[in-house]
Amino acid sequence: MEITYNKTSNNDKKVELDKIKKKCLSCQKCPLGKTRTKLVFSSGNPNSKMMLIGEAPGYWEDVKGEPFVGKAGQLLDKIFASVGLSRENDVYICNTLKCRPPDNRDPLPEEKEACREHLDAQLNIIKPQIILLCGRVAVQSMLDTNLGITKIRGKWFDGPNGCKMMPIFHPSYLLRNDSREKGSPKWLMWQDIQEIKRVYDTIKSE
């Protein structure tokens, strides 16, 4: 799907995002609007040039109404901190879905389709220059590929309006693979986050 960014000033971003969030709060385009505990809209800095798109809210996200707040989210914060980044300052975080699927199952195609307008609206408002696709579901939502994330992680892809997109391992996958040896998922994530930081610093300096 082609996304065309509109011009939005930093001062207008919060107002526009609040409008989308309000729309999500009343959304009943799929059954998840009835089964969620809380809407999970976003966290982080809406004025950042980097955006992370995750998969769908889990148990703790559903309880607290914020993405990446469980063990996986804590690891994500540590990964960012390892290169001097933080969600408060450097990244805007959201998911392909704003509501938790029952039992943390994968989002259904019709659920992703129903929620896509909200994700596209966030992209249009944030106007990221870097998009991190965190996990298989996010990759499948944003890239036209059948390749698994292990084959394409750490590679840059062209995104909307000239932005760069990189698939990365979901932190929940890293929690299940504890090895830090060369070639392990955690070792590969360390290579990827350093490359992300390098490109991010270049963009910030422009």
Give the Cα separation of 177 and 190 in Å (integer).
Answer: 14
More confident residue, 144 or 6: 144
Domain assignment present for residue 47? The answer is: yes
Amino acid at position 35, single letter: T
Domain assignment present for residue 108? The answer is: yes
The pLDDT value given to residue 178: 87
pLDDT at 9 over 90: no
- Segments forming the whole domain that contains residue 65: 11-205
Domain assignment present for residue 170? The answer is: yes
Residue labelled with tokens 């469980």: 70
The pair of structure tokens assigned to 127 is 């106007």
Domain assignment present for residue 5? The answer is: no
The pLDDT value given to residue 10: 66
Amino acid at position 85, single letter: L
Question: For the chain, what is the domain count?
Answer: 1
pLDDT tens for 147-198 read 999 999 999 999 988 999 999 999 999 999 989 999 999 999 999 999 999 9
pLDDT class of 48 with cuts at 50, 70, 90: very high
pLDDT at 112 over 60: yes
Give the Cα separation of 80 and 52 in Å (integer).
Answer: 11
Q: What is the CATH number of the domain that holds 21?
A: 3.40.470.10
Give the Cα separation of 109 and 125 in Å (integer).
Answer: 24
Question: Do the Cβ atoms of 149 and 139 come closer than 8 Å?
Answer: yes
The pair of structure tokens assigned to 147 is 């390749």
Give the Cα separation of 86 and 70 in Å (integer).
Answer: 16
pLDDT at 5 over 60: no
Mean pLDDT of the chain: 94
Phi, psi of 174 (to 5 degrees): -65, -35
Residue 26's contacts (CB-CB under 8 Å, 6 or more residues apart) are none
